[in-house]
Amino acid sequence: MRLLLPWLILFLGACAWQNPQPPASIANWQKHTEHLQQLDLWLLEGKLGYRDSRDGGSAWVNWRQSGAAFDLQLHGPFGSGATRILGDDNHAELQQSGEDTLTAVSPAALTEQLFGWQWPVDQLQFWVRGIPSPHEPTVLRTHNAEGTLAVLQQSNWQLEFTGYEQVGQWVLPSRIKGNSGEFSFTLIVKRWHPGDTAP
């Protein structure tokens, strides 16, 4: 009996770690994601900080999204007043005061001309809502007990969602930190306008 007792303890301990029922956070996450996928019309106002191995800066952000169409305005960076990136799934253009309008097939290609690296605008339209992009594989995802996203690894970026706020029926991120090698950004959302593109 004394020989069997240690094995019995190990067996019961192993069983205790196996929980066939999904944790409540998984169920909450699925419900939370399905709800947020319905939100495709919004405006956010906030501040973006960005950095690479050589330099960094910040800009005020005004981002309007209507379905696949986006209008992203950055105020303050690059010493040139307002910078505007707009487009949809098939087209993007960059407008800066006193400069010719640049076009590309994706906004990420245009941001490389601003930052020197590609800011993942295509994926960010999902990340800013606190959900992964459905167009890219997810490497890692962890979430909080209430179902909100905590950490996401996708498209060679690691993102930490360190703040949320309740805005009407929506629970939306208020602070996101992103890292990809030597490149990083922090987006602090000052004001959400879900369901509208005009404050």
* pLDDT tens profile 44-55: 999 999 888 787
Contact 191, 45 (CB under 8 A): yes
For residue 12, tell me if it sits in a domain: no
Residues of the chain with pLDDT > 70, as a percent, come to 83
- Distances in Å between the Cα of 101 and the Cα atoms of 31, 59, 68, 97 are 42, 20, 21, 9
For residue 154, tell me if it sits in a domain: yes
| pTM of the predicted protein model | 0.81
pLDDT interval class at 161 (50, 70, 90): very high
For residue 33, tell me if it sits in a domain: yes
CATH code where residue 120 lies: 2.50.20.10
Task: Look at residue 14 in the predicted model and tell me its pLDDT.
Answer: 34
Task: Print the domain residue range for 164.
Answer: 23-194
pLDDT interval class at 23 (50, 70, 90): low
Contact 170, 163 (CB under 8 A): no
Q: How many domains does the chain have?
A: 1
pLDDT interval class at 199 (50, 70, 90): low
* pLDDT tens profile 79-117: 456 888 898 888 899 888 778 898 888 888 887 777 677
Mean pLDDT on 2-12 = 37
How wide is the angle at C-alpha 122 spanned by C-alphas 149 and 195, nearest 5°?
Answer: 65
For residue 9, tell me if it sits in a domain: no
